[in-house]
Amino acid sequence: MALIVQKFGGSSVSDAESIKRVAKRIVDTRKAGNEVVVAVSAMGDSTDELLDLAHEVTPIPAPRELDMLLTAGERISMALLAMAIKSMGYDARSFTGSQAGMITDAQHGAARIVDVTPGRLRDALDDGAIVIVAGFQGFNRDTRDITTLGRGGSDTTAVALAAALGADICEIYTDVDGIFTADPRVVPRAHKLDRVSSEEMLELAAAGAKVLYIRAVEYARRHGVTLHVRSSFNNNDGTIVYNNSTPDVNGDPVEEPIIAGVAADLSEAKVTVVGVPDVPGKAAQIFKIVAKTNANVDMIVQNVSAAATGRTDISFTLPKSEGQQVLTALKNEQENVGYLGLQYDDQIGKLALVGAGMRTNTGVSAKLFEALFEAGINIEMISTSEIRISVVTRADTINEALRVVHTAFGLDDDNEAQVHGGTGR
Ligand code: ASP
Ligand code: MG
């Protein structure tokens, strides 16, 4: 008997009809002789609606109460799903995050899983029941409070359950057919990948691919959980996200494609510290100030200094949401650092090309730059890792950039990809 963890996102359970459809799918998996554990998200956009409601009540909702509020969303969907399954003649039991043993740290709104104690789930499975767990939520032992794992956290719930229960596979059901070489909403000729390594998936998720949340991919990689990302609207095979402990894949002699895909991110801004004295220690000083704000700096570029002035510019990117506090922190230290000015640009887009085959193939960056040049798209910053090349362009050229790069690397499919619904999440 295999143990399968299935995760259904909000768009797969947006109304009574779709809840019944998902219930049938779960029952089919049970009928096929598997033990089934389900992690479910809140219905449709209800998490956003609850958030809006909170902000109508107060501009800055108390984090503890916000978690109390938001976790109600998953409590609704889990109970409805269990009812639907029971009405089909199968035993089902729903559990909140804390009942399921999702133990987290105390960080409201962005809690990290520190332990999973799925004893009650195991008991329910042993009784022959289908187990439904509220995604996105946990419990802290010290504060004895309910926490949430951050937006999109149900993916992480599913992966953590799969790891703790030793599941054979963790299926992530979504509104697209799997992981594509690019977002099919932007690049219609994107094609579905049959498989992708967790290493590549991590880079894609970090670069803005929204199909899977980065923390879930990280968790799966660390705990050796194989993921199958597939559509809840059909029975087609989706994409396997494999890692070192995935059976049958590692011995596979098939050569890795050079490129796994392209992703774009419009959520970042660029800060330029202008006229930094070009002497040892200045970069350290600047990024110590930035680090104190806990901002997530991504790309960093330092120009050659102008001989005449002995000064240089240092630019870096960071999430827009962290921009203002970083600017304030830097402004407060302007005299200490001795730089001349600050520039802030939130109209940038970041494109990343990812592929494990880059390690052993040359000319990938030249081809990328050539494709952008031919489309008349200016590159403002470049950074690379072993398996990724990222460039910053103007925000309004990013979709065009995605399409031309996708074509240049021969990733275009003959047919247009099908998108079943939802908004990309
Ligand atoms: N309902 C939560 C959210 O919308 C968790 C999830 O969907 O995974 O962020
Ligand atoms: Mg959701």
* Residue 126 within a domain: yes
For residues 28-42, give the mean pLDDT: 98
Q: What is the pLDDT of residue 425?
A: 41
With bands split at pLDDT 50, 70 and 90, how would you rate the model's confidence at 171?
Answer: very high
For residue 398, is it within any domain? no
Percent of the chain whose predicted confidence (pLDDT) is above 70: 96
Helix or strand or coil: residue 85? helix
Give the ligand whose atoms come closest to the C-alpha of residue 70: 1
Q: Does residue 424 have a pLDDT over 50?
A: no
The rounded Å distance from CA 49 to ligand 1 centre is 12
Q: Which of 327, 357, 320 is nearest to 343 (CA)?
A: 327
Structure confidence at residue 423 (pLDDT): 45
- Helix, strand or coil, per DSSP, at residue 373: helix
Tell me whether residue 94 is in a domain. Answer: yes
- The per-residue pLDDT for range 210-243, each reduced to its tens digit, is 888 889 999 999 999 999 999 988 999 999 999 8
Q: 93: domain CATH number?
A: 3.40.1160.10
Q: Give the pLDDT confidence of 296-342 residue by residue, as tens digits.
A: 998 999 888 887 889 999 999 999 999 999 999 999 999 999 999 99
Ligand 1 centroid distance, CA of 299 (Å): 28
120: number of CA atoms within 13 Å, CB side? 15
Residue bearing the CA closest to ligand 1, atom 9: 151
Residue 361 falls within a domain, yes or no? no
Please state the domain count of the chain: 1
Greatest pairwise CA separation for the chain in angstroms:
81
Instruction: Report the amino acid identity of residue 159.
Output: V
Residues with CB under 6 A from ligand 1: 9-10, 41-42, 47, 73, 135-136, 151-154
Beta-strand relationship, 300-302 and 311-319: antiparallel
Give per-residue pLDDT as tens, 121-158.
999 999 999 999 999 999 999 999 999 999 999 999 99
Q: What is the mean pLDDT of residues 45-51?
A: 97
Asked, for residue 215, whether it belongs to a domain, the answer is no
Stated pTM of the model? 0.87
Q: What amino acid is encoded at 259 in this protein?
A: I
The pLDDT, as a whole number, for residue 43 is 98
Tens digits of residue pLDDT in 244-268: 877 765 555 456 678 999 999 999 9
Q: What integer best gives the mean pLDDT of the chain?
A: 93
* 68 occurs within a structural domain: yes
pLDDT value at residue 404: 98
Domain of 7, in residue numbers: 3-175
pLDDT of residue 83 exceeding 70, the answer is yes
Q: Is residue 47 part of a domain?
A: yes
pLDDT, tens digit, for every residue of 389-405?
A: 999 999 999 999 999 99
CB atoms within 10 A of CB 343: 12
**Structure token digits, residue 35:** 């033990």
- Compute the residue count for the chain: 425
Name residue 39's beta-bridge partners.
7, 133
Q: Which ligand is nearest to the CA of 422?
A: 2
Atom of ligand 1 nearest to the CA of 154: 8
The verdict on residue 286 lying in a domain is no
